[in-house]
Amino acid sequence: MGDSGRRAAVSWRERFAASRAVRLAVLGACALAIANLAGPERPLDVERRIEALLAQMTLEEKFGQLQQLSGSRPEYLELARRGLLGSTLNARGAATLNELQHAAVDGSRLKIPLLFAFDVIHGYRTVFPIPLGEAASWDPAAAERSAAIAAAEAKAVGLHWTFAPMVDIARDARWGRIAEGAGEDPFLGAAMARARVRGFQGDDYSQPDRVIACAKHWVAYGAAEAGRDYNTTDLSERTLRTVYLPPFKAAVDAGVGTFMSAFNDLNGVPTSGNPFTLTQVLRKEWGFDGVVVSDHESVLELIPHGFAADEADAARQALPAGVDMEMVSRTYATHGPRLVKEGKLAVSAVDEAVRRVLRIKLRAGIFETPYADPARERATLLKPEFREAAREIAARSMVLLKNDRGVLPLPASIVRLAVIGPLADDRRNMMGNWTGDGRKEDVVTVLEGVKAAVSARTQVAHAAGAVVDVKLLAEPEAPDDPAARALLDKALGAARAADAVVLVIGESGGMSGEASSRTSLDLPGRQLELAQKVIATGKPVAVVLMNGRPLSIGWLAAHAPAILEAWFPGTEAGHAVADVLFGKVNPGGKLPVTFPRTVGQVPIYYNYKNTGRPPNEKDNYTSRYLDVHWTPLYPFGHGLSYTEFRLSNLRLGATPISATGTLDVSVDVTNVGQRQGDEVVQLYLQDVVASVTRPVQELKGFQRVAVKPGETRRVAYRVGPQDLGFYDREMKWVVEPGEFRVRVSNSSVGGLTGSFEVR
């Protein structure tokens, strides 16, 4: 080829390149126009818009979408303008969020809006009971309602995404985060998970009063060894699938938009770098197509786990394992582009993660409605009907553990009432942990609630008696500490002068939740001594407990006339407690978690295995303790009422049934007392002999029913293969032939029993 020929070839190539650039630019502009078209999202449109955006993104912008940062620092405005930020957590309020959003939408090349996340766990401004408390309502409709209200408030301040529900099963009361979940049982946990996802998201999380939910923490975080937060978990795949996965699966089935990978190491592979749980189970088996966000720096923490050598290695492992978005740490953004260029990270894996993030942004409608409206914020927060719902749900969550001699309900006409205890008038602690934007000035304390409920002639005295916010690691106070003595004496004086005492004791709000594990389940500080002395006055004493975990309250169980478990009830705490104390509401909650006699029994749960030597009073060489009875203090499912219920007429449908068949079970529940009340009728099953050992019982059905005095209601269940099956030795789900026992009851102990056969 001569010179002229070479020149011609070059110029042809240049012309081609130039025209290709023009074509690409035109295509890009069209794609961008399509991508930013407003309008309702059909799935095809969403997918087209995703591809149109992806086609134009630089590698750095792709990793930008995968970055979530905390708060609202000035640096983030710059990152948003450069397309290097996908989401924030903890930034709040219309003004702050709109400033960030303008930087992304008006300032960035591709105008992709930011996704704003926050931990809206049990309410945003109107605070509901802690999730463990709400689970004690055994009322998924109540949980759905409170999540819906939390979503409406959160959306009104510009948030799109909540890091809830936490659906971790917890069998260890030492673990502080037991407060954030639904307790120890996978069946109840799954029901609550479904309800909360529905409540947060509705049918469509782009609606003005809904947010994207997040099932966390994936997975088995609640099995932390020794109940110590963030600790290692090591469990069989069977236990994982049988106990820990069902609430997550229920969340997926309910359409949850996102998952959060956890902090813990699971069987040697940290869950934020675990392809088996993140990809095999979640995506391939369950078909989840939403986003997985890491927990707070959990990608970076692959280094101290001893799983990643450095930051780049952490990113190289976490992203292809299935963590799409990185919370707070920046290993993806810092090292991702280089890893791709060096061939250490497949761009296809990055593109998939970006697609998922863009998909939830498009589905959430934030391209169309990126900004928050401050007027909406003012009009929505803490509406009277939200407070009313908080009061009702808090009262529905309370569990009457004990009520001797009918101490409760108290007559509203009582003349002298003493409201004692460090939590009685404590505005802050009644909301518990993770309180969103809950403000203590909004809280009704128990003292206030009681005063509002009693008659005009009732005199209400108050004394704290002890402190609840004690330093758990501090040296115990000297018994003769004069300040403590004065507090106690004042309370005893009030108790002696009263006709009845309400004693409000428990934990501080911060003693449960994240990083709040305890080795003792006792009442902190000198509260037990306070209770002992107040009860020794001989007055009728109703103990109201506020706590985020089961407590070992053996002494109270033996000596207090009445105990009401109120958990942390939230904004309307005082009204709700008073509603129950004075009988406006008849308590109907049940324990979603076993109360041990002592911390030494932990982990203790109702669905245990029988062992080869089931515990036996008369035989030492059985599975029991020398010093404490093996049974719990209060079993799972326990809860009393001001009325009395009787179960009768347990009926089972035609049996035997086939392995794919169903069985109808029904029972009559009669209110044989004097007051209207709710009973939670529970159904438990046991597969008596199987190819792998099965628990002595498993909850497979429950209904909370309201029954009038003298009324009988029939409660019906249908038991099917999903209730009868288990994972066999090959980890296949099977229903094996043989005998099954069924028990219908008002707790995990007692009730009516029957049996049937599967053939």
Query: What positions carry a catalytic annotation?
Result: 295
Closest to ligand BGC by CB, 229 or 668: 229
CB of 360 or CB of 423, closer to ligand BGC: 360
Least Å distance, CB 118 to ligand BGC, is 8
Distances (CA, A) of 350 to 341, 354, 469: 12, 6, 47
**401 Cβ contact list (under 8 Å, min separation 6):** 545, 557, 563, 564, 565, 595, 634, 638, 639, 640
CB of 258 to ligand BGC, least distance (A): 11
Are the C-beta atoms of 248 and 261 separated by less than 8 Å? no
Considering only CA atoms, which of 120, 173, 184, 270 is closest in space to residue 516? 173
Nearer to ligand BGC, 216 or 316 (CB): 216
Place of tokens 């708060």: 71
**63, 116, 163, 645: which one contacts ligand BGC (CB under 6 A)?**
163
Nearer to ligand BGC by Cβ, of 163 and 702: the residue is: 163
What's the Cα-to-Cα distance from 196 to each of 154, 201, 208, 365, 389, rounded to whole Å? 15, 8, 17, 21, 15
Shortest Cβ distance from residue 147 to ligand BGC (Å)? 15
Which of helix, strand or coil describes residue 543?
A: strand
The CA–CA distances, whole Å, from 741 to 188, 318, 698, 699 equal 20, 45, 10, 12
For residue 22, with 0-12 CB atoms within 10 Å meaning exposed, 13-18 middle and 19 or more buried, which class applies? exposed
**In terms of CB distance, is 259 or 367 closer to ligand BGC?**
259
C-alpha–C-alpha distance, residues 741 and 696, integer Å: 9
Look-up: residue for tokens 């260029």?
Answer: 341
Does 392 bind ligand BGC (CB under 6 A)? Our answer is: no
Number of residues in contact with ligand BGC under rule CB under 6 A: 7
Name which of 293 and 544 has its Cβ closer to ligand BGC. Answer: 293
Nearer to ligand BGC, 183 or 449 (CB): 183
In whole angstroms, how close is the CB of 294 to ligand BGC at the nearest point? 9
Q: Does 324 bind ligand BGC (CB under 6 A)?
A: no
Q: How far is 549 from 178, CA to CA, in rounded Å?
A: 6
Ranges within 294-313 binding ligand BGC (CB under 6 A): 295-296
With binding defined as CB under 6 A, does residue 216 bind ligand BGC? yes
- To the nearest whole angstrom, how small is the minimum distance from the Cβ of residue 372 to ligand BGC? 20
Among residue numbers 81 through 100, which ones bind ligand BGC (CB under 6 A)?
89
Local structure of residue 280 (DSSP, 8 states): I
To ligand BGC, the closest distance from the beta carbon of 34 in angstroms equals: 35
DSSP sequence for 207-266:
STT--B-EEEEETTGGG-GGG-TT--B---HHHIIIIISHHHHHHHHTT--EEEE-SSEE
168 binds ligand BGC per the rule CB under 6 A = no
- Between 113 and 165, whose beta carbon lies closer to ligand BGC? 165
Choose between 324 and 579: whose C-beta lies nearer to ligand BGC: 324
CB 231 within 8 A of CB 224: yes
One DSSP character per residue, 594-640 reads PBPSSGGG-S--SS-B--SS---TT-SSSS--SSS-SS-SB-TT--B
What distance in Å separates the CA atoms of residue 280 and residue 152, rounded to the nearest whole number? 34
The first and second tokens of residue 261, run together, are 């990978």
Site for ligand BGC, residues 460 to 489, rule: CB under 6 A: none
Using CB under 6 A, pick the residue from 119, 324, 326, 442 that binds ligand BGC: 119
Shortest distance, CB of residue 161 to ligand BGC, whole angstroms? 10
Concatenating the DSSP letter of every residue in 96-115 gives: HHHHHHHHHHTTSSS-PPPE
Least distance between ligand BGC and beta carbon 362 (Å): 23
Contact 503, 543 (CB under 8 A): yes
Compare residues 189 and 465 and give the one whose CB is closer to ligand BGC: 189
Instruction: Based on the shown chain and the rule CB under 6 A, indicate whether residue 514 belongs to the binding site for ligand BGC.
Output: yes
**Per the structure block, which two tokens stand in for 184?**
């120890």
Residues in CB range of 553: below 8 A, 6 or more apart: 523, 545, 563, 595, 633
Interface mask toward ligand BGC for 170-209; x: CB under 6 A: ----------------------------------------
Residue 636 to residue 701: CA distance in whole angstroms? 14
Per the CB < 8 A criterion, the answer to whether 422 and 466 are in contact is yes
Report the nearest approach of ligand BGC to the CB of residue 360 (Å).
16
Give exposure, 81-95, as e/b (b: 16+ Cβ within 10 Å): bbbbbbbbbebbbbe
- Cα 259–263–268 angle (5° rounding)? 110
- Helical H segments across 255-408, by residue range: 275, 311-321, 331-341, 347-363, 374-380, 384-397
Sequence-ordered list of residues with C-beta below 8 angstroms from that of 226, at least 6 positions apart, any chain: 172, 174
Positions touching ligand BGC (CB under 6 A) are 89, 119, 163, 216, 295-296, 514
